[in-house]
A and B are shown apart, each in its own frame.
Chain A
């Protein structure tokens, strides 16, 4: 069965520092991979997605993610974090013939000034 693992429950960084959030997936075929962000009291907003092609994908708000098939990973990165990036981040994998997404348990990002 498909699954997504986000090994880091909580990450704290200083504003201006670089960020990498880890995501590992388990899926037999070529996965469709997504990163979503959830701010307090809000729904989930799509940051970026990977379907095929270039393994480095660019998203909104200056985020990017790299698909590494050999490592079954899809890590999210940002070179310089802003205080407004504090939120919960979810990695998700899409399944074959439906739009249903399987989500990881999320990583809560805290940003210190």
Chain B
């Protein structure tokens, strides 16, 4: 158990809809990351938050947004969903957000299916 909790585990929704994925980091971790894993794109970094502030941005679509709350949990919002958004979405956390030698701890992911 990594200590990172993601909810829900599975989500099935229709095109055009909006969903929210939730992540609670490990106790004491200040940084949260979101990754998207799909068969054709592999593991793609979406966005990172550190202590409530956005720290790094990757290949995140404008239809997607995220935030980190004062209690350090994070939410990833996906809107105007398309079939191609179907993927496994992982959250990871780390102690810090500014050192590449701080390992990431991953949750078990949320599997999103868009029909």
Chain A residues with Cβ below 8 Å from B56 are 98, 100
Inter-chain contact count A-B, CB under 8 Å? Answer: 67
Report how far A36 CA is from B99 CA in the complex, Å.
Answer: 18
Residues from chain A with Cβ under 8 Å of B2 in the complex: 43, 45
Given known A-B contacts A43-B109, A101-B45, A49 and B101 have beta carbons under 8 A apart: yes
Which residue on chain B has the smallest CB distance to residue A49? B103
Task: Tell me how far the C-beta of A50 lies from the nearest C-beta in chain B, rounded to whole angstroms.
Answer: 9
**Quick check: A95 and B100 within 8 Å, CB to CB?**
yes
For chain A, which range describes its interface: under 10, 10 to 19, 20 to 34, or 35 or more residues?
20 to 34
- Other than A43-B90, A97-B100, give 10 A-B pairs with Cβ distance below 8 A: A44-B90, A45-B2, A95-B100, A96-B100, A98-B97, A98-B100, A99-B97, A99-B100, A100-B45, A103-B35
Cα separation A90 to B102 with both chains bound (whole Å): 17
Place the interface of chain B in its size category: 20 to 34
Q: Is the CB of A100 within 8 A of B101?
A: no
Give A99 to B106 CA distance when docked, in angstroms: 13
Contact, CB under 8 Å: B102 / A99: yes
Residue of B nearest to A36 (CB): B106
Contact residue among B31, B94, B97, B106 (Cβ-Cβ distance under 8 Å from A43): B106
